[in-house]
Amino acid sequence: MELYALIGKPLSHSFSQKYFRDKFRRDEISADYLLCSLERIEDLDTWISSLPLLKGFNITMPYKEQILPYLNDLDLSAKHCANCNCVKMIRHNNTTTLKGYNTDYYGLRLVLEKEFPISAIRKVAVLGSGGAAKTAKAVLKDLQKQYKIVSRNPKQEQGEISYEAFNSEIKDFQLIINATPIGMHPYQNATPNVDFEQLNPQHFVLDLIYNPAATLFLQKAQAKGCNTSNGYTMLCAQAEKAWEIWQNE
Ligand code: NAP
């Protein structure tokens, strides 16, 4: 039986195990998908050695960037996004090579092209400056969209802006992407610091969070007439891309 897994900490919010186990059952694939809470990224080699049937794994918070020095090779998607959420293991004789990919890139690009009128969107605000925001930057660059990263501590030399500055120019952004954990456990009752009074039906809002399906951020945006979407399509698309990489590349 082949093994696949997710590493990160904590993993209680993850849908990946259910997603892959349902897929394996439905498609009669003899494989399992494990959730492996890794205390420290330094434990990666020991963890890999303990699972000789492992063929590939996903990476979630907080290791998407920390894993980069442990990889032998990086696909363009991981290089471009400067973080990695999917590793393919190539075992040959007694050596194992780890190649890193970023399948969030494919997932996010698909969502933007499928669920939003992307050609009509000129300027995008990305809330947060972590791994998902870096992926969003790469996708938006490739789609040739103007964008601003909105941060609690903006790195001005990198063009990031504060929430205050964002709220003062909120009407200029057609699409707002929440790439912070605000809205998911333990922040279910909070929203990013957005001035909801200024939102209107011309705004599109994407929350990368998929659990809960409608964060307070999405509920408040919907109440102002915005078109909204959550992170579920992206989650499924990045998982399918990972499966394709593990099977075919
Ligand atoms: P991350 O690397 O930890 O970055 C999150 C960023 O959010 C931080 O860099 C920070 O930016 C901001 N932030 C953190 N705590 C905050 C707080 N208390 N208040 C306001 N801002 C805060 O996490 P990530 O990997 O980018 O993931 C971000 C979100 O996207 C998570 O909810 C994750 O589940 C979701 N996600 C979904 C998918 C999907 O397939 N749907 C894929 C990837 C990620 P500043 O310090 O600059 O403010």
How far does the centroid of ligand 1 lie from the alpha carbon of residue 181, in Å?
4
Rounded Cα distance between 153 and 162, Å, is 7
> For residue 249, what pLDDT is reported?
60
The C-alpha R_g of the chain, in whole angstroms, comes to 19
Position 186 scores a pLDDT of 87
Using alpha carbons, select from 231, 178, 228 the residue that is nearest to residue 201: 228
For 183-201, give the DSSP string.
TBTT-TT---S--GGG--T
Structure-token match 């995008």, residue found: 124
Could you give the CA distance from residue 169 to residue 49 in angstroms, rounded to a whole number? Answer: 51
Is the pTM of the predicted complex or chain greater than 0.85?
A: yes
- 239 Cβ below 6 A of ligand 1: no
Catalytic residue selected from 9, 64, 88, 224: 64
Nearest CA to ligand 1 atom 3: 130
| Cβ(18) – ligand 1 distance below 6 Å | no
Atom of ligand 1 nearest to the CA of 235: 40
**Residue to mutate, 180, 209, 217, ligand 1, most ligand atoms under 8 Å from C-beta:** 180
Q: What is the pLDDT of residues 25-58, one digit of tens each?
A: 999 999 999 999 999 999 999 999 999 999 999 9
Report DSSP state, residue 25.
Answer: H
Could you tell me the two tokens for 28? Answer: 């009669």
pLDDT at 188: 95
Distance 80 CA to ligand 1 centre (A): 18
Per the CB < 8 A criterion, the answer to whether 73 and 97 are in contact is yes
- Give me the residues of the chain with pLDDT under 70, please: 249
In the reported structure, the alpha carbon of residue 52 is separated from the centroid of ligand 1 by a whole-number distance in angstroms of 32
Active site (annotated) includes residue 64: yes
pLDDT in the model for residue 82: 94
| pLDDT in the model for residue 75 | 96
pLDDT of residue 15: 86
Does the beta carbon of 24 sit less than 6 angstroms from any atom of ligand 1?
A: no
CB 210 within 8 A of CB 229: no
pLDDT value, residue 185 = 83
For atom 22 of ligand 1, the residue with the nearest CA is 180
Going from the Cα of 112 to the center of ligand 1, the distance in angstroms, rounded, reads 18
Q: How far apart are CA 111 and CA 233, in angstroms?
A: 6
